[in-house]
Structures are given as C-alpha cells and as structure tokens.
Amino acid sequence: MTSSHRCDAKSQTPGAKTPDPSGGLFGSIKMGWKVVFGTKRGATHQERIEAYYQSQASFYNESRKRILHGRKELWEQLPVPDDGVWIDFGGGTASNFEFLGESIGRLSKVTLVDLSDTMLKMAREHIARNAWDNVTAVKGDATCYEAPMQVDIITFSYALTMIPNWFDAIDNAFKLLKPGGRIGVVDFYVSRKYAKPFRQHSWLTRNLGMFGRDINNIFVSPDHLPYLAQRFETENLCETFGKFASLPLFRTPYYRFIGRKPMGEVARDDGPERAE
Ligand SMILES: C[S@@+](CC[C@H](N)C(=O)[O-])C[C@H]1O[C@@H](n2cnc3c(N)ncnc32)[C@H](O)[C@@H]1O
C-alpha cells in the first residue's frame, strides 16, 4: 500500500436532505424493505438484475441519494485527464457524472456499461438531457467487457456488491486500464475478522453485513478491499459509515478506494491464479 488514509468522520451524501419519497422514518422503512426484499427472480444474473431494477426504477435516483454515500466525493477526487477515456461499470442511471460538472467535457470518451435495460434507458435519457455528446451507455457485463482502447479511469459505484463474480470484474478493470491508470470504487463492505491494515468492524457489524448475502443479491464482502489493495497501488482510501435513509442509529459501513495500476504492469494482467 503506497499511501492511504482513513476518514473517520461520519459521512452523509451532500444533498441527501432533499425531500424525497423515502424521506421520514416510515418512508425509510418502506424504501429499505423494497431495496432489500425487491423482486430478484430469474435464471441468470442478468435476469435477476433486470427484475430487480424494473421494480426500483421509479424511485431509484431519489432514494439512493439517502443510502449510497461517498459517490460525489469519489467522482470529485478522481483527476480528470484531458482527452481521457473513462469507463463506469454498473453505471446505472449515469447520474454520478453530474458530479464532474464542466470537467466532463475534457474527456474524449466516457462509456457507461450496465447489464440492465431499465437502467440503460434511464442513463440514455440522462445523457441526452445533459447533452453529454462524449458519453455513451452500452449493454455489457463488467466481468468480460472489452474496450477498443486502453482506459485512463474505471469506476465501480455500488456495483461490485451487485456482481457475484466481482473478482473477475476487478481483474477485467485491471486488464483494460493503461499502466498508471486509476480505478475508483465506492461500495458497502464489512471487514475481515482480523482486518489490519484496514479498519476493524465489530462482530455485530460484520455479521449483520454478511446476513444480507442470503436475502438479496447484494454480495457484501470482506474481500473486495484487500483484493483491490493487492492488485492496485492504493492512492486514497476512506473507510467510514453512512446513514441508511432516515433510520435512526442504523449505519452502513462503506469504503472509497482510489488505486493506480502499477507502471509497466503487463504480465499480471490476468490476475493471480485462483482455484475454480
Ligand atoms: C446499485 S446499482 C449502482 C448504479 C450506479 N453506479 C450508482 O452509483 O447509482 C448497481 C448497478 O450495477 C449493474 N450491474 C450488476 N451486475 C452487473 C454486471 N455484471 N455488469 C455490468 N453492470 C452490472 C446493475 O444493473 C446496476 O445498474
């Protein structure tokens, strides 16, 4: 790990105080129920994802402002290279690109890759409304998406926890990035039982987080962060907690990670060997 810092301050997304359908205690419980127990039936990952987001589309953007923290901070921390190429895996509705403001125009090509047709429709509407003519939304799987050129920045915002074989998604990002290129990830997580050098979570936090795996398709994992730090040079790390809508006392742990692909790194593009 080259450099890292822990941001201990309790964090909440700026703008999260805007009134929305999930506001208030009752709204938060209702929304939390839909997020956790929303439809996710299907024979394949893609079918399950599509079923889930069809049921969430109407309230996705407003409700997620209250639970998906750290997205603005990540987007603002990533340096925007002139003429750069940026891929946002599991980009959803494309709303995160608003955090770049005018800087988005400095990029030559931005590609949002998502598996869900419902999310892609919303992304394309968002892109058209903002007249971002360097941004396209394409259907694809983050674990095997191929890009026509080397990439400067790859982001995953609350996407790794939705991808069952998330290690393939990280390996694919590593392969697509140019040496020195950056990966930015923000997501829920729990720590390992013995977490050093990362933040240690309590027994209760770790076990509540892992409980989520069996009741929904959100694969909260203790291994994302160690794997990211193993593959990339850590440039910035923040491990903290955010509110879950207006639920009192309840806080969800999340991290923001910015890492660089080591310069001259080619040989390890396929990642460390793993047992199948
Ligand atoms: C929780 S949403 C996050 C959306 C957006 N990044 C945000 O911050 O609001 C997760 C997204 O990942 C997408 N997704 C899930 N599995 C995927 C995969 N294998 N490849 C690409 N996208 C995927 C879902 O369709 C969904 O849009």
Domain boundaries, the chain: 24-260
Residue 45 has pLDDT above 80, yes or no: yes
pLDDT band at 10 (very low <50, low <70, confident <90, very high): very low
The CATH superfamily label for domain 24-260 reads Vaccinia Virus protein VP39 (3.40.50.150)
* Of residues 264 and 153, more confidently modeled: 153
Average pLDDT over residues 16-44: 63
Closest ligand 1 atom to 95 CA? 9
Pocket of ligand 1 (CB under 6 A): 49, 53, 64, 68, 71, 89-92, 96, 113-116, 119, 141-143, 157-159, 162-163
pTM over 0.75: yes
pLDDT of residue 111: 98
Task: State the pLDDT at residue 19.
Answer: 42
Alpha-carbon gap, residue 9 to 222, rounded angstroms? 21
Confidence category of residue 180, pLDDT binned at 50, 70, 90: very high
Cα of first residue to Cα of last residue in the chain, in angstroms, is 27
Question: What is the 264 CA–ligand 1 centroid distance (Å)?
Answer: 30
Count of residues for the chain? 276
In ligand 1, which atom is closest to the CA atom of 116?
25
Q: Which atom of ligand 1 is nearest to the CA of 186?
A: 8
User: Is residue 83 over pLDDT 50?
Assistant: yes
pLDDT of 237 higher than 50: yes
List Cβ neighbours of 26 (8 Å cut-off, separation of 6 or more).
Answer: none
Q: Is the pLDDT of residue 13 over 60?
A: no
pLDDT at position 211 is 67
Q: With beta carbons less than 8 A apart as the criterion, state whether 90 and 116 touch.
A: no
Of residues 198 and 266, more confidence is placed in 198
Looking at the chain, the whole-number percentage of residues with pLDDT higher than 90 is 61
Per mean pLDDT, which range of 41-45, 77-81, 190-194 is the poorest? 41-45
Nearest residue (by CA) to ligand 1, atom 27, is 92
Question: Can you point out the beta strands (E) in the chain?
Answer: 85-89, 109-114, 135-139, 151-157, 177-188, 233-243, 251-260
Contacts of 244 (CB under 8 A, 6+ apart): 28, 32, 66, 67, 250, 251, 252
Chain centroid, CA 267 distance in Å: 27
Mean pLDDT of the chain: 85
Q: If you ran DSSP here, which 8-state letter would residue 38 be given?
A: -
Q: 161 with 220: CB under 8 angstroms? A: yes
More confident residue, 25 or 268: 25
